[in-house]
Amino acid sequence: MARYILKRVGLALITLVLLSMIVFAISTILPGNVGRAVLGPFAAQESVDALNAQLGTDRPVLEQYWDWASGLVQGDLGQSLTLQIPAWDLLQPALEPGHVGLEVTDGGRSAGGQVEGRAGVGGRGQQRALARGIERPRRR
């Protein structure tokens, strides 16, 4: 059993590394300039070049990936490009207990969309519970 779990964890880690490489490669292949996207189309070229140097996007792609991956392993998720604050400060509130999952308001709407349909669902209270991942006990 332990061997099976270790194998599955190892395969999951390999998958995550390969996926991160693919996403990183795609983001560097896409057209556009990070400094220009952050500062806007009317920013001076000197400002764009300075921001690219500050963010490290003017370095080789492999060096950028290595810096990002080594920072991630150490718990550093990097900086938000638009807000200029640590990315962890943006993610932490969403990961607190009570904030994970889909929460449905009185109108049946949430940031994730709207609970659709009523077929087989017994009222709004049960819709909210189902959307939160809570199963209502069955009546006997």
Residue 24 lies in a domain: yes
DSSP code at position 114: E
Burial class (CB in 10 A: 0-12, 13-18, 19+), 51: buried
Q: What is the pLDDT of residues 114-126, one digit of tens each?
A: 444 444 444 455 4
Residue 51 lies in a domain: yes
Q: What is the pLDDT of residues 11-28, one digit of tens each?
A: 999 999 999 999 989 988
Question: By percentage, how much of the chain surpasses pLDDT 70?
Answer: 70
Domain hosting 23: range is 2-79
Residue 129 lies in a domain: no
Q: What's the structural domain count of the chain?
A: 1
Instruction: Kindly give, in sequence order, each residue whose CB lies less than 8 Å from that of residue 130, ignoring residues fewer than 6 positions away.
Output: 115, 121, 136
Residue 50 lies in a domain: yes
Q: What is the pLDDT of residues 47-99, one digit of tens each?
A: 999 999 998 889 999 999 999 899 988 988 888 877 888 988 988 888 888 76
pTM summary value: 0.57
Residue 84 lies in a domain: no
